[in-house]
Amino acid sequence: MENQNSRGRKAIIEQELLRGRDMANQLLEVLVAHNNKSSNNNNNHHHYLNRSYDDDDDKGLMVLLPYAEDLVHQVLRSFTNSLLILNTTTTTKSDAIDHDVFSDGRVVFDSAKFRDFSSTTSSPSLHHTNNNRLRKSSVPTWEKDSPILIEDGHEWRKYGQKMTMNSKYLRNYYRCSHKNDQGCPATKKVQQIQDNPPLFRTSYFGHHNCKSITYNEETILASESFSESSMFLSFNNNNNNNNNNNNNNSNVIITPSKEHQFSSSQAFGSKNFISQNQLLLSSSDYYHPLCVYEELGFDYSRHHDPMLSSTEKVQFDNNALGWDLLDYDGLACYGQQN
DNA sequence: TACATTTGACCTAT
DNA sequence: ATAGGTCAAATGTA
């Protein structure tokens, strides 16, 4: 039991730190993306509140600052939680071992899930009904809010959507694509929770026990020690993606899955993207490729009619922002105006 | 044709 | 009783 607690604690801390690293890399990406954008567009100065601004700088910052601030908070929370767990004395009971970190910062310890947490063969958040149907518990393994849908490196298959009582947005249900071939129990649900600025909440249930994550032609074997927050890279053979017409020097290309394409169209209308400049490779495995939106005048701040089917087109107004963060279902895309 | 998504029905926790 | 999670047949897409 001692050993199990130790492993569980290590796993929790690891997950927390990985999450923190994930957030730090997202923050870095946001800052680098903005920096690149600023350096590429320094001709559109205007005046606002008696100050001279660059259009893209100004509007881009207005969008990104709250996101960047949130990321900083999440990094800090990651450290705080890790320290909290480290400083939690292991008792004979397994209380305070497992925990959930919610988007509002609450840390909820849940001893009931501890055993499963270190297990690779079952999910702590799934159980069978008498009808042998799988049904997840109402408490997510973890969840996060983001103004864009963050790619989590796993392949997902959508299996349902619902309108819920307290939201005007559709809730989408996904299960791991490896549910059938590897029995992976992980699921997630994604729902937009606010508009202006848009905010999406992704709740993860259970843990992946699948081994492969595919980007492009490559299959990367995932270490079991990585949690949902882990990302894995695919290094292609320098063949640019068929959508990629940029002269970037990237060596990392990501092809969105059907789910990604769908989610993009669902959240923002059926549009085509081209990827650009894919990557920030640090010592970490984390990334979010940058994309350039093919069409002009896309307004990120608009949202689709929640009642529209995902395949229906959504009309967007001419954009209010100089450049836009778009969703490529988790691949952070930056809409660019020519 | 194979595989992914859509969507209404079904099931169950509350 | 009902809100929400899942199933599975129908449909879409490459």
pLDDT tens digit sequence for A20-49: 777 777 777 767 666 665 655 554 443 333
Work out if A259's Cβ lies within 7 angstroms of strand B.
Answer: yes
Considering chain A, what is the average pLDDT of its residues?
A: 52
The model carries a pTM of: 0.43
pLDDT digit string, tens, across residues A221-269: 333 333 333 333 322 333 333 333 333 322 222 233 333 333 333 333 2
Whole-number distance in Å between A211 CA and B6 C1'? 28
Tell me what the mean pLDDT of segment A291-316 comes to.
28
Using C1' positions and the CA of A177, the closest nucleotide is B4
Determine the structural domain holding residue A24 and report its residue range.
1-39+65-85
Position A173 confidence tier, pLDDT thresholds 50, 70, 90: very high
Whether residues A148 and A73 share a domain: the answer is no
Work out if A130's Cβ lies within 7 angstroms of strand B.
Answer: yes
Contact between residue A184 and residue A122 where contact means Cβ atoms under 8 Å apart: no
Least Cα distance to A151 among A309, A282, A285 occurs for: A285
Tell me what the mean pLDDT of segment A85-110 comes to.
39
Q: What is the DSSP code (8-state) at residue A309? A: -
Work out if A136's Cβ lies within 7 angstroms of strand C.
Answer: yes
Report the protein residue whose CA lies nearest the C1' of nucleotide C8.
A159
Residue A191 lies in a domain: yes
Question: In Å, how far are A193, A198, A234, A316 from A306, measured between CA atoms?
Answer: 12, 13, 34, 14
Q: How far is CA A297 from the centre of its chain?
A: 25
Whether residues A79 and A157 share a domain: the answer is no
The domain total for chain A is 2
The per-residue pLDDT for A84 is 57
CATH number of the domain encompassing residue A180? 2.20.25.80
**How do A199-205 and A187-194 pair as beta strands?**
antiparallel
